[in-house]
Amino acid sequence: MSLSIYSLLINIVAIFVIFFTLLYLYFTRNFDFWKKRSVPYAKPLPFVGNLKGAILQTVDIGQNLKQLYDEHKAKPCVGFFSFDQPSLLIIDPDLVKYILVKDAKNFINRVQTADEKTDPLTAKAVFALKDKKWRHIRLGMTPIFTTGKMKKMFYLVEKCAKELTLQVDKKIRTDECRLEVKDWMARYTTDVISSCAFGIESNTLVNPDGKFRSYLRRFTTYTTLKSFATLAISFAPKFQSLFKLKILDDDIVTFMRNTVWSTVRYREANNVDRKDFLDNMMELRKKGQDSNEDNIAL
């Protein structure tokens, strides 16, 4: 009996050793990519590449890349690895200029690719679109961000600023002269975003526990799983499909869709014109002659 248990344990250990050996070989198969091309690179770690800090959440992705930059800033560029995928950090300003200006036509696609089945809303965001889809949306959205269009939305920002002044004044007159500045600025920002982008009055300055702010808080709060999903979409999209990762929870997507489309239908039925971002997107939608809600990246 003991012999059979011993044999079973040996087999289990052997299976695990073989499995992790194969996993190790798979995740390190590209680690000679930059060496073969004589490009200076940061030494990667198995499974995580050079994103250990971001994956373990000891630093955010920006700080992780800043560390790489600081360690190699004397070089024109440095290769690194996002999990098992080779990536290149451009350091020299002239190279950056070539990529973003002179050779921009060769660099239209971002790495980010969200899986449409797993996370359909993120997949339709501008940063995740590719090739012709990206060009079509980019050309349509460029006029929305002109100085003239931005100025037309300023009255909405000003309205929120006046409400902030009013509510702060009430607070200091009726309560201790003590304010949580971060909270008040977050509420003000929420009102500006909801008014300018979504075309609704969230009134977060008056009601800090409103539904819109509740969903926005969840959207901007990063859990370990959401952080990993963001990294996967940004640097290793295949992991998103493999593990069915998503940035937005289903109920947040449903709330945002219902909010936007109910506003769109109301404006179309009542000829409402607020000169905000949603109006501009509605105009873009009409030009595209696409009324299918699932095909519009609002």
Name residues of the chain where pLDDT drops below 70: 1-3, 112, 175-177, 288-298
Report the b/e string of 154-193 with b at 16+ CB within 10 A. eebeeebeebbeeeeeeeeeeeeeeeeeeebebbbebbbb
pLDDT at 38: 95
Q: Are 153 and 277 in contact (CB under 8 A)?
A: yes
User: In whole angstroms, what is the distance from residue 225 CA to residue 222 CA?
Assistant: 8
Structure tokens at 222: 């990063």
DSSP, residue by residue, 118-144: T-HHHHTSGGG--HHHHHHHHHHHGGG
As a whole number of Å, the end-to-end CA separation of the chain is: 66
Domains of the chain, by residue range, sit at: 31-107, 141-295
Q: Are 51 and 82 in contact (CB under 8 A)?
A: yes
pLDDT at 298: 46
- Tell me whether strands 85-90 and 77-82 are parallel, antiparallel or unpaired: antiparallel
User: In whole angstroms, what is the distance from residue 77 CA to residue 175 CA?
Assistant: 55
User: In whole angstroms, what is the distance from residue 188 CA to residue 186 CA?
Assistant: 5
User: In whole angstroms, what is the distance from residue 146 CA to residue 168 CA?
Assistant: 33
pTM of the model: 0.68
The per-residue pLDDT for range 245-267, each reduced to its tens digit, is 787 788 888 888 888 888 888 88
The per-residue pLDDT for range 189-241, each reduced to its tens digit, is 999 999 988 888 899 999 988 888 888 888 877 777 777 777 777 777 777 77
pLDDT at 176: 66
pLDDT at 80: 96
